[in-house]
Amino acid sequence: MQIFEFHFNPKEKKDTIFDSFCFEPATNFERRMGSLYMAGLLKNILPQHRHFLDNLAQTIKDKYYKTTLNKPSQSLRESLKRANEYLEGIAKRGDVSWLGNLGFSVLSIKNFELNFTKVGNFKIILLRKGQVIDIDQRLRFQEIEPYPLKVFGNIISGKLTENDILLVLTKELFDFIQAQKLLQELAQVSIPQPLAQTERETIDQKRIKDFFNERKEKLLPVSGLYLLIVLSKEAPSKEKAILSQNRIFSLKKAFQPLLRPFKVPEVALPFKKLKRPKLTIRPQIKLPSLRIKKPKKLLLPAPALDKRAVLILSFIIFLTIGFFIFEKREELKLQEYAAQLEQIEEKVEEAQTYLMVAESKPQAKEQANLLFQESLEDLTPLINIASNFPSSLANQIFDLKETISNNLYQLNSLLIVAEPELFFEFKPREFVPQKMVYSQEKIIFFSPYANNVFQLSQEGESELLSIEKNFDLAVSLSDSLLLFSQPDQIVKLQDNLFQEPITLSPPYSDFDFSDLASYQSNLYFFEKKAGQIIKYPYLDNNWGNPQSWLGTKKAFDFKSMAVDGSVWILTKDNSIEKYYGGYLQKTLSLEIFPEIKSLSKIFTFLDLPYLYLLEPSQKRIVLLKKTGEVFKQYQSEEFDNLLDFTVSSDGKTIYLLNGMKVYKIKL
């Protein structure tokens, strides 16, 4: 990587210090963590703050490179945690003057994977082939709060490519450069240029240097810091990651200990070297020469092998060969799983890249969401068998799951409610609710099996209203509550009094109303046998003759209905159809995490900006903008028997009926 550090007029403001810190790995172990870059600024300094930025940078650096077995993102989190502890210690000692005056950015880069965070007035910009991308918009920063401190918070991750340029600037300098349109000019200068001799594209470093040298005069009026990082391919490390140690299998070495008891000894009898006799030669006497035979080397006969020993030896050989074959197969499986994990990691990196440009490209967020969901689906089989893997591979799988889940929670606005607020709990002997509706600032509970209605105020005051009818459906009107009793009667509840039942005109014989909504006192029933929406217009303080609102269309796949001027239909395949004037306007296909299994109810009305969706099987309620984008999701293990829900008239409170309990969620 090529690094440019520019400090413009550092002595212009005597009460402000700023500096940049660039750490490149010095050892093979540190290379596993990649490079670490920091930039800091402190305003309204005191004499004891001269080394404030240096000490903070050193604290982060020491912790980051201390454990090289972690992933860079994990090490960065640990180092920021240590930095928070360091700053908290300073505050505890009584020095809080730096609060609100500190700006600091931290970036780690390894194999083009970027992890970064910032606090205060810094800007982090990505230049890619002439484009200017503000990549820190996903971070939502607040003012540093007093003790207990948490200065550094979220980390953003993304995948970069060769020749990308990262810019880290103080906010004042960024605003000046932006006003002078120098950032756009620099983006054009940074476009990779083709080299004929190598047929590759690379950034001409000299062009960048010349760019700043030619514009020195323009930058004189401003003070600030400018850190520029040009990404290039890293030199390959000599160290190789090894999934499992290679084994060289040798039958001789494997069975040598087993064969040792059956080795046939070789025995030789000792003999002494015989001396030849000394001969005395006398005249005219000739003695015959002597032939001396050397003793033979004798071998003892080999002992006979026991048949049982041979069988045992054969069995041991068979088991040993089987063991090594099994072990080799397991090693090949692990290599296959590791390759699958690598493919999933690449998909996650692609999703993170989309997130980095999501602010400038709205469709990128949707694409990132889909990629994260696909990644989690691909990873799930590995998660289920991770206990059989070596700890290093299992940890890698669970770390990746955590990364994917955190991104999906954020993208899908999923809030896990550990302890939802309990608003009311029924006593079985008094009343067993099945359905609920909000009307006139009260919550009304009813059941097809009860001949009374239970009323609950927002303050928790309850009242049981008796009537010799059971009700299947209910809807709130502007001044009252309307309850429907099968097959064709409606009863108005107003000021805690039930009015006389009204019999509706039948739309046709053998009808069966299964859902009810209202708009401007007009009633909309869903008739499931014919697959029709039947409208009863409100005329002259009464409801007129029924009308087939959908015309010739049949709607046998309808599940639930809500009306706000348009009619919203929840279908059996969990999509949402929007109708206006009896005609289909659009269909919303929901790509939500966790994946939708079975929605049971849709709810909205004119003054509400959202569609509310209940899904008991996933223990959650989903709030959609009426454009189809997720606004919020609330999920809790306590929501284990969701029956129904309703929403306050201002839309700020959701009431959930969970068995005999009523929970309250405030938006």
Local structure of residue 479 (DSSP, 8 states): S
Across the chain, mean pLDDT equals 81
The answer to whether 430 touches 651, Cβ cutoff 8 Å, is: no
| Number of compact structural domains in the chain | 3
CA distances from 600 to 112, 436, 444, 490 (A): 45, 14, 20, 24
Has residue 331 been placed in a domain? yes
Farthest-apart Cα atoms in the chain, separation: 171
> Residues 495, 609: one domain?
yes
User: Does the structure show a pLDDT above 50 at 289?
Assistant: no
State whether residue 663 is helix, strand or coil.
strand
Indicate whether 165 belongs to any domain.
yes
The answer to whether 496 and 463 have CB atoms below 8 angstroms apart is yes
pLDDT at 111: 85
The parent domain of residue 396 ranges over 315-411
End-of-domain residue from the set 210, 230, 250: 230
Is 148 found in the same domain as 186? Answer: yes
- Residue 281 inside a domain? The answer is no
Indicate if the pLDDT at residue 221 is higher than 70: yes
CA 310/CA 41 separation, integer angstroms: 80
Do residues 328 and 195 both lie within one domain?
A: no
Long-range contacts of 217-223 (CB under 8 A, 24+ apart): 218/180, 218/182, 219/8, 219/176, 220/9, 221/176, 222/8, 222/9, 222/172, 222/173, 222/176, 223/8, 223/9, 223/10, 223/12, 223/13, 223/16, 223/172, 223/173
Same domain flag for 167 and 131: yes
**pLDDT greater than 80 at residue 288:** no
The answer, yes or no, to whether residue 166 has pLDDT greater than 50, is: yes
Q: Would you place residue 197 in the very low, low, confident or very high pLDDT band (cuts 50, 70, 90)?
A: very low
| Banded model confidence at residue 566, pLDDT cuts 50, 70, 90 | very high
For 125, the enclosing helix (H) or strand (E) is: strand 122-128
- Indicate if 345 and 472 belong to the same structural domain: no
* CA-based nearest residue to 599, from 589, 581, 613, 580: 613
- Between residues 366 and 254, which one has the greater pLDDT? 366
Does 644 map to a domain? yes
Residues 139 and 222 in one domain: yes
**Residues 514 and 577 reside in one and the same domain:** yes
- Band of residue 195 on the pLDDT scale cut at 50, 70, 90: low
**Residue 374 pLDDT greater than 50, yes or no:** yes
Residue whose tokens read 């929605």: 599
Residues forming beta bridges with residue 548, ordered by sequence position: 534
Of the candidates 584, 587, 624, 583, the residue with the CA atom closest to the CA atom of residue 603: 624
Pairing of strands 165-170, 224-230: antiparallel
The answer as to whether 301 is a domain residue is no
Q: What is the mean pLDDT of residues 18-47?
A: 88
Q: What CATH number is associated with residue 557?
A: 2.130.10.10
Confidence at 246, pLDDT banded by 50, 70, 90: very low
Q: What is the pTM of this model?
A: 0.60
Residue 302, in any domain of the structure: no
Q: Cis before residue 303, ω within 30 degrees of 0? A: no
Pick 349 or 202 by higher pLDDT. Answer: 349
Q: What are phi and psi of 437, to 5 degrees?
A: -150, 145
- The DSSP code sequence of 211-257 is HHHTTHHHHTT--EEEEEEE--PPPPPS----SS------HHHHHHH
> Could you tell me the CATH number of the domain that includes residue 150?
3.60.40.10
Contact 128, 161 (CB under 8 A): yes
| Helix, strand, coil share of the chain (percent; to 5) | 25, 30, 40
**Which of 230, 258, 289 delimits the end of a domain?**
230
- 492 and 355: one domain? no
Would you say residue 305 lies in a domain?
Answer: no
Asked if 137 contacts 61 with a C-beta cutoff of 8 angstroms, the reply is no
Question: Do 353 and 391 lie in a common domain?
Answer: yes
425 and 493 belong to one structural domain: yes
Same domain, 432 and 464: yes
Residues 474, 593 share a domain: yes
* 174, 200, 230 - which closes a domain: 230
